[in-house]
Structure 1
Amino acid sequence: MRLTVAFLIFTGLAMILLSTQSFAESLSDNSASRCLPELITPLQKIPAQPSGSIAAQDTPAPQNLEADELTQPSTNTYQLTGAATFKQPGLVVLSDKMLYNKTEKTADFFGNVELHQPQILITAEQAQLDENSQTATLKQTEYQILPSRVYGQSKQIVINQTNENAQLDRASLTACRRQADKSVPWDLKFGELHINNQTRRMVGKNTTLYFKDVPIFYTPYFDYPLDDRASGLLFPEFGSYKSLTQDKTMSYLKLPYFFNIAPNIDDTLTVMPMTQRGLALDNEFRYLGKHGNATHNVVLDVTALQDQLVVEDRLKNRWRTSLNASQNWGKGLTSDVLWHEVSDENFFADIPVNPALNTVTQTERHIQLDYRQGNLHSYAQILNHLRLRDAVPNYEKMPEIGIDYSRQVDHFRMDMQANATEFAMSNIQHSNPEALRVHLQPALEYQLRKPFGSLKSTIVANQTQYQMHENGFNNTGESSINRFVPQFALKGALMFERQLELFGKHYTQTLEPQVQYLYVPYENQSNLPLFDTATRSLAFSNLFTLNRFTGSDRIGDANQVASALTSKLLNDNGRQIADIGIGQIVYFSDRQVMLTGNIPDRSAVSDIFVKLGLNLPKLYFSSTIQLTPDDYRLTNSNSRLKWQPNQNNTVLLNHLAQNQGTNSETEVISLGGFTRINHEWEVGIYANYDLQNDQLFASNMGLRYDSCCWAAEIVAEHTQLINGLYNDSIQIQFELKGIGTANQSFKNDFARKLNF
């Protein structure tokens, strides 16, 4: 008896319905047993399928028929009654009764029909298979895809193996586990559903989306892709905001549509209606490609709006464009582009397309080319800032070209750094000098390292030339300025270790004294412009820097000894558990080189620097403190505390105090936290508070409900803009698991905030 018809048709059904597997890709994160829907029928043991397609082999697949009773009503008909079972590799079919006509090559299954294949289950009241027409008809069915267990019902399923398509009448589909009352949180119901494996599309007619048994969306035509990356609607976002230029809070709705152009190219067009302002179109184009040895990554954002709120016609057409691209050309050559352009300085404050820029006054733009080969690094870049609201004048590097080379020979190390930078202020009114600066910085270093310590001597020669531009603001009095300043440093360090036991565990404690003598002769630099130079920010390592200024416009004179004593606690694996350090600089001469003015610093010693650190599995703490040497008064501090008892709970605290006891003192505290209350609920908070002025800079609160098959989140933000004005905004997102994924603004926003 030859019954290969069953395997052929059911294999075709599996190929077609399994194409909806990607329909539930978003369930992959919720694959725990609590989230998986129940099986529609207990799994059967399926005979193993040999490698290769059985249908393609000339020899029929081995088959096994079992039943309580086998009869032959006619010459061409066989009837199996009572627990009829059909088995062959890769397939098991169960039914109460089975009829097989060997002449017409048809098989009919009646009563409690079950079809089992490795990746699909189907139950039906009746099934008919026709080998000649390569079709199958199943009535009153329920189907389920494994392992995601997405399932649905259909009054009738008709499969055409030749065309690789299936038609489902009055079908439903859901990815949700049934509740105690047999209901599901959401499901899709179709008048007709066509699944085409050749075109990789699923098309529904008269489709209704039900949420909690309430119809919330209807469309006469529903077109959904069967692949992971395919065109289609993404989840919308609803929000409200108030910008600096507005008197009232406005609302917006983001409706994104994703275009799958190619596996490495896509485009997302977002239609964003806004109350009062009108309709904005926001488009994101992404490209990832490889051509030979070169790779390219491109993201292009464009937004356009004819603002109905603006009175002046010349300002109505508002737009922005942003290009973020990186390339690896091979053989050490890379490039990077980050560029923004806007129609006006208030664009990001008024249009909620980039929350990271809605309160900033400027943002960096650059084009850079890098070449690295062994010890050689060279680069060329253009760097400036997009000026937004209330931006202060900033120098641009138009361009900067640099080269770095290092070479190690035994204990000697040679470094050569050279750069030429054109400093300009383009397209803005200003009264600042401009110049071409060429800076050479060769250095020679000799270092001895031993297990008990190290000794290092360093000689640096700083040669700088300025070619001043006669833009009317050259206050140096010269067209060309040369400066040469050498630096010499000798640094020694020792390391002592001891073993100790704390709380029943073994540790290694180190004691590490460090001393550095630094000599830099005085060179009058008060006539030099300040392009990219400032005082260094608070850091314990600044005790041993060769220049107390950043940048190249000032080389600080020095005749000093810096000393520090640090101690570390290491576990058996060598991981640092804790550290503590204290250091100070003793000056043998006044410091005459200043950023501005000519009043020297005559203090004999520097402030005292203290650092504390703790790095436990659940607790991290780091603090650097600067104290006055006479009365130990706090002048600067930066402290950060992170407590993370598990992956679902995080608390971060940061305290920053600057210039205490002066007219420019600031003190800011930032606090943030994230917790998963249970399997469904997550909450996050963030606040940034100015203790000096008793003002709240920013606060955020987010709440997310995330069940196995649907999620909703709301994020509220309160951000200071200027002069006591605040932006109050709310974003709301809703997501149905199995249909697609949302941007998850809640998690993304708090991940950004908690990295302060």
Structure 2
Amino acid sequence: MKKNVYNLLSLAILTALYSAHSSANSQDLHLQCLNGVPQFTGEPITGNANEQPVYIEADDADIVNPSRATYRGDVDLKQGNRHLKAPEVEVTQNGEGDAAQRYAYAKGKFAYQDEQISLSGNDAKVHLNSKDTDVANANYQFVGRQGRGTAESSEMREGYRLLKNATFTSCLPNDNSWEIEASEMKQHIKEEYAEMWHSRFKIAGVPVFYLPYMQMPIGDRRRSGLLMPSAGISSRDGFWYAQPIYWNIAPNYDATFTPKYMSDRGWQLNSEFRYLTSLGEGVIAGEYLNKDRYEDYADKDQSRHLFHWKHFASLFGDWRLNIDYTKVSDRRYFSDFDSTYGSSTDGYATQTAKLIYNQPNWNFAISAKQYQVFDDVEIGPYKALPQIDFNYYKNNLANGWADFKLYAQAVRFDNTSSEMPTAWRYHLEPSLNIPLANRYGSLNIETKLYASHYQQHEGIGVDADIEHSVNRVIPQIKADFQSVLASDETFIKGYTQTIEPHIQYLYRPYRNQSNIGSKRNSKYLGLGYDSALLQQDYFSLFRDRRYSGLDRIASANQFTLGGTTRFYDQNAEERFNLSLGQIIYLNNSRIDNTTENSTTGRASSWALESNWKISDKWNWRGSYQYDTRLDHASLVNSTLEYNPEGENLIQLNYRYASKQYIDQNLTSSANRYNQDIKQLGTTVAWELGDQWAVVGRYYHDLGINKPVEQYAGVQYNTCCWSAGIGVRRYVVSESAKRKYADSKDAIYDNSVNFTIELKGLGRNDHYSGLVDMLDKGMLPYVKPFNL
């Protein structure tokens, strides 16, 4: 497996590099497919076509009487959008006035076309007062879209086409990759689907299966029925097969049920229900495996399941309702199953609901929030139920000199563990900002007050001496100066450079906050009810606070010094930027009397970020943090991407994080690594000509010299079908990750996925498959550039 992945990835890179020219000069597959179908030309004639006059051109005409005429020799008959050509046409009329019935009889081989279908055959009867047409030995092809076939006899009516001993395929002429034969076929024009009786599905002329009755789409409209299946084999799941079943319940409701068989695990039922109503739009999904036969669960008789609900509603004009709820049966669910609704790399599942009321100067929200964490911890995070937030804004006070903002919150914190304390938190945060600006720069002076009151109740058996009532008042003042200096005289001819210094002073006095929340000696629990240490980059240096949430508001007496330089070309397009910054601590920033939660040294890490648009095809982005206290780099990211056209790309990545940086930002000691993370990765995605698309991805941990993830995918596309294969090898399961981190060993899942799809049944289904393949995996492709 490993050797095959390396070979596929190498082939993907080499083929991409050597096929750039041919790919750039190739014609889009979608356009090629459209060129293979007849198109309606001229201006469409609106109105009732049956009331349009009839125009006939011919080499010879024999008009017997007003009710009968015969035309011979290159006969060309037009009526509205209808166009009939034949060697001989006889036109008859029965009755007079409004009761007159007109028919045209084409004798011999003819060609007929309107805005919907193109026909050829032997002998036809056309009712000129309606769309009724009877044809013998017909060859038909849809106009403006793929779809063609034959019929021994056909009845063309206004709402349907009834074909006897007929065939249908979306392949272009002279391509018989697949087709369906049926003794009787009824194509419903407005509903855009076909019914088939006694149908045989053929591949390259060979019958594959028989169905006494089937339906299939012949247009864009949604139809209930079977969707294309997918299959594969995995060392984790064994052989698996998934068959989606689509149910078009109503124009604003639909559902998809996907039974999935896994030979090593059992049957899993996946379902998704989508809705759009006056009360909002959203999706409800579920996944259920009754008894997992995987070796880790075989003796536990354990069911595995997922529930997901996402909802958005605009209510009564100014009200909004958002719900995002995902819950799984166990913390290893996303490690063991591939799911659209979550990933093991997220580390948690979100469960939130928020009702918002908006007005021009203020808004109000009431919400509930909790998370299902996948870390191996005894006690999880707190849930906020309920949480009430209020925001008020008033700008241009004192003749435009000041802006006022007020934030207020009331929230109750509870924990799934009865051992943990519970609390109500009431918070008030007024701020006054004075913005000053001229052509040289801007200076924003802001004063803010954090006023919080806690009502706490101890848990069972621990924190018995917790303070039941805690008040905390912290003032803050911040002065933020920014300027933009531009010059056309740079060391690079033809470029304009800007230098943008950014200086901020922040002061906030120290308040001991160890009496807020649990007193347990735990990094995770010691941060109160909803706080966490924020990760640092250049832009975060200018944030007000080191911690998220409101339970930990660290003291501050510091200057943040930073700046950005940018280079613009003659078209005023930004080609390069570089940002560099650092916090200078006049006093250590702290939240309690411990050194663990206090900054040490007189300065933060240096933070550097840069983007470079080397050319229209090449881009580079990098970030770097240097820890002055430890005297070495703590975080490095670098990405180089070659993107010549469309979705084609080659991306190289390097990621480094020091052990100290990882431990500092983890909320649980259970998953701490015993080494630095050093990962080198590459992603290749390329369309080879019109039909082939390849994706390769490889991430390698340099510290233990083992791959983290390997993926190679190939897809072949034609106008009427596509097939793809994906080979993947990656680290799986929570226990495997810990083993991987601790003992330099790894447990891998090796899998092969297959996909087959019939093309041309919808208008816009000609795509290479690159996006789908890039989205797969633990580390899906992300475009990193922000120029």
2:75 paired with 1:84? yes
Residue in 1 that maps onto 2:720: 709
Q: What's the secondary structure of 1:549's corresponding residue?
A: coil
CA pair 433-670 structure 1, distance change in 2 beyond 3 A: farther
Partners of 2:648 and 2:46 lie apart in 1 by 48
Change (3 A) 1:516 1:201: closer
Determine the C-alpha separation between the residues in 1 that align with 2:627 and 2:59.
Answer: 94
Q: Does 2:445 align with 1:457?
A: yes
Superposition pairs of residues 233-252 of structure 1, within 5 angstroms: 233-243=226-236, 249-252=237-240
Residue 538 of structure 1 contacts residue 638 of structure 1 at CA under 8 Å; is this kept in 2?
no
Equivalent in the alignment of 1:439: 427
Structure 1 residue identity aligned to 2:280? H
Higher mean C-alpha displacement, 112-121 vs 441-450: 112-121
Give the AA of the match of 2:697.
Y
Q: Give the CA deviation at 1:704.
A: 1.2
Aligned to 1:378: 364
Corresponding residue of 1:320? 306
C-alpha displacement of 1:183: 4.1
Aligned to 1:18: none
Counterpart of 1:230 (choices 223, 231, 242) is 223
Q: Secondary structure at the match of 1:534?
A: coil
The answer on whether the counterparts of 2:34 and 2:144 sit within 8 Å (CA) in structure 1 is no
Q: Tell me which of 399, 413, 422 is aligned to 2:386.
A: 399
Using the TM superposition, give the Cα deviation of residue 198 of structure 1 relative to its aligned residue in structure 2, in angstroms.
7.6
Name the counterpart of 1:3: none
Say which is worse superposed, 444-453 or 61-70, in terms of deviation: 61-70
* CA apart distance, 1:238: 0.7
For residues 349-389 of structure 1, the C-alpha deviation after alignment (integer angstroms, 9 at most, x for no partner) is 55555484367653111111222222323222211123558
Q: Does 1:154 align with 2:155?
A: no
Point out the more displaced range, 74-83 or 492-501.
74-83
Match of residue 488 from structure 2: 499
Unaligned runs of 5+ in 1: 1-28, 244-248
Unaligned segments of structure 2, at least 5 residues: 1-27, 95-100, 518-526, 662-673, 740-745
- Mapping of 1:291-370 within 5 angstroms? 296-307=280-291, 309=293, 315=301, 318-354=304-340, 356-357=342-343, 362-370=348-356
Distance 1:351 1:525, change over 3 A: closer
The alpha carbon displacement at 1:602 in A equals: 4.9
Residues 165-201 of structure 1 show CA distances to partners (whole Å, capped at 9, x for unaligned) of 43212211222223xxx44222222222123458765
Please give the secondary structure, in 1, of the residue aligned with 2:467. Answer: coil
TM (normalized to structure 1)? 0.84
Answer whether contact 1:346 1:389 (CA < 8 A) is retained: no
Aligned mate of 2:139, from 137, 142, 163: 142
Structure 1 residue 448 displacement after superposition: 0.6
Q: Deviations over 1:262-298 (max 9, x none)?
A: 11111112222221443332221110123xxxx5112
Matched to 2:312, the amino acid is S
Find the aligned partners of 1:423 and 1:394 in 2 and give their Cα distance.
10
**Partner of residue 270, structure 2:** 282
Residues 120-142 of structure 1 show CA distances to partners (whole Å, capped at 9, x for unaligned) of 22111212346799854311111
- Aligned counterpart, 1:413: 403
How far, CA to CA, are the matches of 1:594 and 1:535 in structure 2? 14
The separation in 2 between residues aligned to 1:633 and 1:288, in whole angstroms, is: 54
Residues 1:633 and 2:632 aligned together: yes
List per-residue Cα deviations over 1:550-599 (Å, max 9, x = no partner): 32222222222222233122345544322123333333334443695468
Partner of 1:66: 58
Give the superposition deviation at 1:680: 0.9
1:688–1:419 CA distance, 2 compared to 1 (3 A): farther
* Alpha-carbon spacing, 1:107–1:144, altered in 2? closer, same or farther (3 Å): same
Post-superposition CA distance 1:304-355 (Å, at most 9, x none):
4432738889845554322111111143321111223444555455555548
Q: Decide which of 108, 113, 118 is 2:110's aligned counterpart.
A: 113
Deviation per CA, 1:663-719, whole angstroms, max 9, x where unpaired? 664334443231112211111123343333444333322211112221112223323
8 Å Cα contact 2:179-2:202 kept in structure 1: yes
> Residue 735 of structure 1 is aligned with which of 734, 757, 773?
757
Deviation for aligned residue 1:460: 1.6
Indicate the residue corresponding to 1:622 in structure 2.
621
Measured after TM superposition, the shift of residue 257 of structure 1 is 1.5
Q: Provide the residue aligned with 1:5 in structure 2.
A: none
Amino acid at match of 1:489: K
From the superposition, tell whether residues 373 and 692 of structure 1 become closer, same or farther in structure 2 (CA, over 3 Å): farther
CA–CA distance in 2 between the matches of 1:225 and 1:44? Answer: 22
Q: How many residues align?
A: 704
Letter in 1 for 2:655: L
Residue by residue over 1:375-431, the C-alpha shift from the partner in whole angstroms, topping out at 9 and shown as x without a partner, is 3232222111235584662222222221222221213122222222322221x57x5
Name the CA shift for 1:614/1:375 in 2 (closer, same or farther; >3 Å): farther
Quote the offset at 1:204 in angstroms. Answer: 1.2
Identify which of structures 1 and 2 has the higher relative contact order when contacts are C-alpha pairs closer than 8 Å and 6+ apart: 2
Q: How does 1:470-509 map to 2 (within 5 A)?
A: 470-472=458-460, 473-474=462-463, 477-500=466-489, 505=494, 507-509=495-497
CA distance in 2, matches of 1:209, 1:634: 62
- The TM-score normalised by the length of structure 2 is 0.81
1:5-40, Cα deviation, whole Å (9 max, x unpaired): xxxxxxxxxxxxxxxxxxxxxxxx95413554365x
Query: Given that residues 36 and 149 in structure 1 are in contact (C-alpha distance below 8 angstroms), is that contact kept between their aligned partners in structure 2?
Result: no
Asked whether the equivalents of residues 272 and 281 of structure 1 are also in contact (C-alpha less than 8 Å), the reply is: yes
Query: Which residue identity is paired with 1:111?
Result: G
1:499-556 Cα shifts (integer Å, max 9, x gaps)? 1478764x32112223222222222223333123233212112333332333222222
Which of 211, 215, 220 is equivalent to 1:219? 211
SS in 1 for 2:244: strand
- Read off the aligned partner of 1:399 and give its amino acid letter: P
> 656-665 or 550-559, which moves further after superposition?
656-665
Distance 1:170 1:500, change over 3 A: farther
Q: Cα RMSD between the aligned structures?
A: 3.5
More strand by share: 1
| Separation (CA, whole Å) in 1 of partners of 2:471 and 2:781 | 46
* Structure 1 contact 538–637 (Cα < 8 Å) conserved: no
Could you tell me how far apart the structure 2 residues matched to 1:302 and 1:598 are? 43
Aligned match of 1:543 in 526, 541, 544? 541
* Alignment-mate amino acid for residue 638 of structure 1: N
- Residues 480, 742 of structure 1: CA spacing in aligned structure 2 closer, same or farther, 3 A cutoff? farther
Alignment partner, residue 4 of structure 1: none
Cα shift at 1:50 = 5.3
Spell out, residue by residue over 1:611-657, the C-alpha distance to the aligned partner (whole angstroms, 9 max, x if none).
32224543333333222448963222333443322113123344333
Deviation per residue, 1:429-454 (Å, 9 max, x gap): 7x544322222222111121112111
Q: 1:329 to 1:571 in 2, by over 3 A?
A: farther
The change in CA–CA distance for 1:127 and 1:272 in structure 2 (over 3 A counts) is: same
Contact map agreement 2:719 2:766 (CA 8 A) in 1: no
Q: Which region of structure 1 is more displaced relative to structure 2, 129-138 or 211-220?
A: 129-138
Secondary structure at the counterpart of residue 170 of structure 1:
strand
Over 3 Å counting, the alpha-carbon distance change for 1:647 and 1:281 in structure 2 is: same
